[in-house]
Chain A
Amino acid sequence: MSTDTAPRPTFVLRRNRGLFITACLAPALLLVGVFTYYPMIRGGVISFQNYTLFDLSDTGFIGWGNFEKVLAEPGFWTALANTGIWVLFSLTGQFVLGFGLALLLQKAFRGRGLYQALVFFPWAMSGFLIGLIWRWMFNAEFGVVNDLLLRMGIVDAPIAFLASPEWAQTGQIIANVWYGVTFFSIMILAALQSVPQELHEAARLDGASYAQALWRVVIPFIRPTLVLVVLLRVIWILNFPDIIYAMTDGGPAGKTHIITTYMINKIIGAQDYGQASAVGLIVLVLLFAFTVFYLAATRLEKSRDF
């Protein structure tokens, strides 16, 4: 008879454990559900609705209407092209300078702690604030950048940075590089410190120069981190409208919008949540495609790991 009753407690226990695990996960699932997935799904639904804040009395479904309108606007395609430039140049600048700083910070020197704190400082600032600060710095008439250039004799007349699309975008990218260098420094420095000392010693014994050791030993070792960090950063830069919004709000003449500031303008200007959500969904699809590439790339890296 005892064999009959034996499985029972196990079953109850297993069921209880299941309940327990679910209960433990519930708060996290709930939070993610309410603050991430619900807004995302709601946004997806709104993108198919006629949803303008000016008049909410008729918010019926209009099929692909919002997408058709957005895709027909030349401004959207300018923003898309700018997004590419924005991500590529910001990333390159941040990566190269961040790598350099990480290499410098790796060596012990007097006051390294203070220096590290100074380097990491921009990361703690709000993007909107950074945008506002650089907007005044790049101002043609009262900006510090022009003042310095004039005093050093590099230019004869102030450059109206924010008045031409090319200069304005250059300015935005400079601000973004200044902000993002930090992230790469932190991550790459952590990765560099994980390189075993034996590898350095072995390279030195084999007579490798600093550059050779860096190129052949250190970089291959930290490559998985680099790939991960670069790909993460691409997503973040693409989703980072703060600096552009505060510096030029896409100006002059809407030539410096990226896709996310373009989306914000759909809300602030036209108050068209439908079209803004459509743009949001397009961003989501683009990022999804990118993530697929990202996952494929990281899997590729794992197979080549040390």
Chain B
Amino acid sequence: MRRPRSAVFGLVALTLLTSVLTGCGTGGGITLRVIQSLTSPERTALLRDMITAFEAANPEIDVRLISPPLQSADQKIAQVLSAKNDVDLVEVRDYTVKQFVNNQSLLDLSPYVANWPGWQELTPLARQKAASVGGKPYLVPYGFFQNTLFARTDRLSEAGIKPPTTWPELIEAAVKLTEPGKNRFGYSFRGGAGTFHYAVSIISAYAGPQVDPAQGFWRKDGSTIFASPEAVTAMETFLRLFKTGSPPGSLAWSYPEMVQGFTSGVTSLLIQDPEVIKTTERATGLPKGSWTTLPIPKGPTGLALQPTGYAGWGVTSFSRNRDAAVKLLAFLSSAEQGLRWAKEHSLIPVHTAAAQDPQFSTGAFKAYLDMANDPAQVVVERPIQYPGWGRWQKQADIDVQSLLVGEKTVAEVLGSWDKFWAEQKKAGGA
């Protein structure tokens, strides 16, 4: 009998020792757990650096950063939140905010932002996006995403083409810059995952003034943009862009390939988000000064419409260290940290102080300033708050690919999208 007893004693002692040691590890203070979504090695390093600065200023708080792989990060976060796991600060994106609020995973920050001076340093758009679900701030955005047109100025001037400002001009330029024999193509087409975004962009530009910006998938008369006759012209143009001005393999291209296409010099035109500015600057395959960014192309009526994507930080509703979590959130969202974050990741900044910063008013970022000052560049909303949004994206990608391989017709695809969104609206998902 002696042996089991000593074993039990040993176990108890071990458990006690472990808990004491773990206690020591946290300095006896608060441990915050932060989970990020848009993970990348450079970004994680920067975030860690910012967290270290926060810990130095708040020695009683210990911060643990959780970085799931990018591909499945939002899925992991959703699971962690629905299981009410031990997480205090969470990265929230425009695509996930409605879901997290639905499931009551996020804390309403209203009482906190009221007393937080940093709130007033945010741009009006940032404060609007913070409260885009239910009118309450469930997150503080750290940056915006908008498309811009990346263009090889050297090749354009070589071919005697002026920088394209409309879709028809873009196609004309893409066709002229395509030389398959040299493995050189005009446009970095995205036919793989995420292609729906570009289809919707061109349809919106063609439908132009009919579109209701507050509900970007619908026209002001209440019907969907996919039912408009202009949508047919837009999709046919989109197909022509693929067939005559883009690499044939781009049917399978997703984000990494289309960016690689541009940075390796295979393609000369690319429509992408601001973080690609950093990637392109770092690319060794491009001669210095050979490229620029331009506002995205407009439709025949002179309008370009696109959503403003955003991401930010939110506090979980079940956090046991609310005040500390809010403190960290305020630190990360301060003008000083926020501008550093936006600069190093080339994001559109959320702080008013950015207007005085030369990095955001010159060079590759100037296109964003131009777009912000151009009334013909309209910001629209995507129906991300509808339950069908996730499902539709996957289906729409398949539909566009079916169009590209010739298995479906433009009328079939547009018809099914029109039907889908008309039904979603009738079901009142919003």
- Chain A interfacial positions (CB closer than 8 Å to B): 52-57, 75, 139-142, 157-158, 160-165, 168, 248-254, 265, 267-272
The answer to whether B261 touches A141, judged by C-beta atoms less than 8 angstroms apart, is yes
Query: A271's contact among B266, B390, B401, B407, by CB below 8 Å, is which?
Result: B390
Q: Is the interface of B mostly helix, strand, loop or mixed?
A: helix
Number of A-B contacts (CB under 8 A): 105
Pair B103/A162 contact, Cβ less than 8 Å: no
- Which of A56, A252, A265, A272 contacts B405, CB < 8 Å? A252
In the complex, the answer to whether B264 meets A142 with C-beta atoms within 8 Å is yes
Write out the residue numbers on chain A whose beta carbons fall within 8 Å of the beta carbon of B99: 53-55, 271
Are B390 and A54 touching (Cβ within 8 A)?
Answer: yes
Instruction: Point out the residues of chain A lying under 8 angstroms from B405, CB to CB.
Output: 163-165, 252-253
* Interface assignment of B228: CB less than 8 Å from any CB of chain A: no
Q: Is the CB of B390 within 8 A of A269?
A: yes
Contact (Cβ within 8 A) B404 A139: no
Query: Is the pair A158, B249 in contact by a Cβ cutoff of 8 Å?
Result: yes
Are B249 and A253 neighbours in the complex by a CB distance under 8 Å? no
Interface size class of B (residues with CB under 8 A): 35 or more
- Report the minimal beta-carbon distance from B326 to chain A, rounded to whole angstroms: 25
Residue-wise, chain B 246-283 has the 8 Å CB interface mask toward A (1 for contact) of: 01111110000100110010100000000000000000
Q: Give CA–CA (A165, B401) in the complex, Å.
A: 11
Which residues of chain B are near A56, meaning CB under 8 Å? 82, 102-103
**Min CB–CB distance A276 → chain B (angstroms):** 11
Which residue of B75, B103, B250, B407 contacts A268 across the interface (Cβ within 8 Å)? B75
Q: Which of B124-132, B366-374, B391-399 contacts A (4 or more CB under 8 A)?
A: B391-399
Which among A158, A250, A270, A271 is the interface contact of B78 at CB below 8 angstroms? A271
Given the complex, which residues of A lie within 8 Å of B247, measured CB to CB? 140-141, 160
Q: How near does chain B come to A140, taking the closest CB pair, in angstroms?
A: 3
Asked if A252 meets B266 with Cβ closer than 8 Å, knowing A55-B99, A267-B75, the reply is no
Minimal Cβ-Cβ distance residue in B for A146: B249
**Residue B137 lies at the interface, judged by CB distance under 8 Å to chain A:** no
Chain B residue, CB-CB nearest to A128: B71
B252 touches A163 (CB 8 A): yes
Q: What are 25 A-B residue pairs whose CB atoms fall within 8 Å in the complex?
A: A54-B390, A56-B103, A139-B257, A141-B250, A141-B266, A142-B261, A142-B264, A142-B266, A160-B252, A163-B191, A163-B248, A163-B252, A249-B193, A250-B398, A251-B398, A252-B251, A252-B252, A252-B405, A253-B401, A253-B404, A253-B405, A254-B402, A269-B390, A269-B393, A271-B78
Can you name the residue of chain B whose Cβ is closest to the Cβ of A157? B180
Whether B257 lies near A160 (C-beta < 8 A) is no
Best-buried of A54, A56, A164, A249 by chain B (most CB within 10 Å): A54
B186 at the interface (CB under 8 A from A): no
Prevailing SS type, chain A contact patch: loop
In the complex the two chains form, is A272's CB within 8 Å of B260's CB? no
List B residues at the A interface (Cβ < 8 Å). Answer: 72, 75, 78, 82, 98-99, 102-103, 180, 183, 185, 191-193, 247-252, 257, 260-261, 264, 266, 387, 390-391, 393-394, 397-399, 401-402, 404-405, 407
Shortest A269–chain B CB gap in Å is 3
A268 and B194 alpha carbons, distance in the complex (Å): 13
Question: Smallest CB–CB gap between B246 and chain A, Å?
Answer: 10
Q: Most chain-A CB neighbours within 10 Å: which of B247, B252, B260?
A: B252
CA distance A248 to B252 in the complex (A): 7
Q: A55-B387, A270-B391 are contacts. A254–B249 as well, Cβ < 8 Å?
A: no
- B residues near A158, Cβ cutoff 8 Å: 183, 248-249
Tell me if B102 and A55 are in contact (CB < 8 A): yes
Report the bound CA distance from A131 to B257 in whole Å.
Answer: 15
Query: Are A265 and B401 touching (Cβ within 8 A)?
Result: no
B78–A141 CB distance below 8 A: no
A57 contacts across to B, CB distance below 8 A? 102-103
Residues of B within 8 A of A163 (CB): 191, 248-252, 404-405
Q: What is the distance, in angstroms, from A302's C-beta to the closest C-beta of chain B? A: 43
> Are the C-beta atoms of B401 and A269 separated by less than 8 Å?
no
- Chain B residues within 8 Å of A249, by CB: 192-193
* Contact of A251 with B402 at beta-carbon distance under 8 Å, contacts A139-B257, A272-B391 already known: no
Q: In the bound complex, how far is the Cα of B75 from the Cα of A272, in angstroms?
A: 12
B21: min CB distance to chain A, Å: 25
Interface centre among A139, A141, A164, A270 (most CB of B within 10 A): A141
- Nearest CB to that of A275 among chain B residues? B391
Chain A residues with Cβ under 8 A from B102's Cβ? 54-57
Contact A162 B394 (CB under 8 A): no
Q: Which residue in chain A gives the minimum CB-CB distance to B385? A: A54
Q: A53 contacts B401, CB within 8 Å? A: no
**Least CB separation from B184: chain A residue:** A141
Chain A residues with Cβ below 8 Å from B402 are 253-254
Tell me the bound Cα distance from A252 to B251 in angstroms. Answer: 7
Whether B252 pairs with A251 at a CB distance below 8 angstroms is yes
Complex Cα–Cα for A56 and B404 (A): 36
Q: CA–CA, A253 to B405, complex, Å?
A: 8
Q: How far is the CA of A165 from the CA of B398 in the complex (A)?
A: 12
User: Which chain A positions have C-beta within 8 A of B404?
Assistant: 163, 252-253
What's the nearest-Cβ distance from chain A to residue B16, in Å?
A: 23
Asked if B193 and A160 sit within 8 Å, CB to CB, the answer is no
**B251 to A160, Cβ gap below 8 A?**
yes
Let me know if B249 and A270 touch, CB within 8 A: no
Q: How far apart sit A269 and B196, CA to CA, in the bound complex (Å)?
A: 13
Min CB distance A38 to B, Å, is 14
Given A55-B103, A163-B252, are A254 and B398 neighbors across the interface (CB < 8 Å)? yes
A174 to chain B, nearest CB (A): 16
Q: Are A162 and B75 in contact (CB under 8 A)?
A: no
Apart from A56-B82, A163-B252: 16 A-B pairs, beta carbons within 8 A: A53-B99, A55-B103, A57-B102, A139-B249, A140-B247, A142-B266, A160-B247, A163-B249, A163-B250, A163-B405, A251-B192, A252-B404, A252-B405, A254-B402, A269-B391, A269-B394
With a CB–CB cut-off of 8 A, which chain A residues contact B401?
251-254
Q: Which residues of B contact A141 (CB under 8 A)?
A: 183, 185, 247, 249-250, 261, 266
